[in-house]
Amino acid sequence: MQNGQTQYPFEENFRKDLSTYLQDRNLTDKMLPEAADIEEKWQKIAEAYLPDGMREFTAYPIVSLGWMMYIGMAIAKYWDEDWELYDKVENLYTYLRDRIDYDHMDDYICEKVLLLTADEHKQLTAVVGECAARTDSLLRHLPVAAGSSDAFHAYVAALHQLYLLGAAIQLKRMGYRMTRM
């Protein structure tokens, strides 16, 4: 997951804020995972997600941002479960979305992919909501004009970090631990 390597300068702010928040709650390790298979799926997932995510962002920014964290969790689960199979899926975002619909994708991922109990689902919803709200606040305080190319790149950078940290949460939930040797 390219520890600390980001494409845009403000992407580092999203990563630092989210990773600190999640580490303080023992939801990720201090050292974030490097999972090339999961990272390699990002570009196709982002391209397919952007029309849905951007459409929803104005009215539902927390959903638009938070759903990407759930997607990262689902991809990590698929990676652990049967990557040989899931790696062949043309686009894992559309695969997930089309199982139900965009609006209910969070519930589908929690219940059918992650197999969470009702309490775990509720706890995870709170964490994802907080991460999405924090990221939305950071986005809105960036010195970029709304609707500009920089605003678009900031949104994509935010989604990227939410995706990666969603995967990191799920990897830790499944027992993977990241430590320095």
Cα(108)–Cα(101) distance, rounded to whole angstroms?
A: 9
What are the pLDDT digits (tens) for 79-93?
999 999 999 999 999
Residue range 153-176, pLDDT digits in tens: 999 999 999 999 999 999 999 988
Q: Tell how far CA 109 is from the center of its chain.
A: 12
- Please tell me the pTM assigned to this model: 0.92
For every residue of 117-157, DSSP letters joined together read -HHHHHHHHHHHHHHHHHHHHHHHTSSS-TTSHHHHHHHHH
Average of per-residue pLDDT values in the chain: 92
Domain ranges, ordered by start, for the chain: 11-173
